[in-house]
Amino acid sequence: MPLLTIQGLPGPPLAVPAGTTVLAAIHAAGHDWLHACGAKGRCTTCRVRVLAGAECLALPTEPELRYRAAGRLAPAERLACQARIT
């Protein structure tokens, strides 16, 4: 099972079933994470910067591509509510 490490969150790396979004994994571990639009890909408040293991995430979704094109999401950033672990 893939392991997810979020800098700044206490505790060990999170064991995450494939297909889970980064946001769902964080919430399942009992951590709070901002998600103002309710995880619908409409706000960017859930963004994360991927420092390693980007190849373990599914390709960016349409909302992520739209925010990138608008300059509101850097190439190394993903929306936690959209990024699924593969």
Q: Pattern of binders to ligand FES over 32-71, x per CB under 6 A?
A: ---xxx-x-xxxxxx-------------------------
CB 38 to ligand FES: min, Å: 7
Taking the complex as a whole, the smallest distance from the CB of residue 34 to ligand FES amounts, in Å, to 7
14 close to 3: Cβ distance less than 8 angstroms: yes
25 with 57: CB under 8 angstroms? no
| Angstrom distance (rounded) from CA 86 to CA 69 | 24
Based on C-alpha coordinates, what's the Rg of the chain?
A: 12
Q: Does 31 bind ligand FES (CB under 6 A)?
A: no
Q: Which is nearer to ligand FES, 16 or 46 (CB)?
A: 46
Q: Are 49 and 74 in contact (CB under 8 A)?
A: yes
Q: Residue numbers of the site for ligand FES (CB under 6 A)? A: 35-37, 39, 41-46, 79, 81
